Amino acid sequence: MGTVNVRRVYESSPAGAFRILVDRVWPRGLTKEKAEVGLWLKEVAPSTELRKWFAHDPDRFEEFAERYRQELEGSEALEQLKDAVAEHGQVDLVYSAHDEEHNQAVVLQDLLAERRG
């Protein structure tokens, strides 16, 4: 299996880490070169409707995570993500949200860890 970490897209990753952007919208003010994203899986991001409902409100995070997991159930994008982790070994799931504890990358990291364990 691989190692899956999460970090803001504006931060650099350690050497050898394959960066997967898990946002539906490209990060503001960032060029493709500077982002150093190996794969942009916008389909694995939460739906626009769910993202707007959540509005990065920490009090809604648990329910957001639950709804997001339901959206991902049986999704092709989640399979693509699992394949990329298996292929690259060391992966950084990158996102643009300011909150480092309450975002979709954290949910994806937990989901991938459960499937491995």
The Cα–Cα gap between 81 and 83 comes to 5
Please give the pLDDT value at position 2.
77
The Cα–Cα gap between 105 and 96 comes to 10
Q: Which residues of the chain have pLDDT under 50?
A: none
Question: How do residues 83-117 score in pLDDT, each as one tens digit?
Answer: 999 999 899 999 999 999 999 999 999 999 987 65
* Cα 69 versus chain centre, distance: 12
Please give the pLDDT value at position 116.
65
Burial class from Cβ neighbours inside 10 Å (0-12, 13-18, 19+) for residue 83 reads exposed
pTM: 0.94
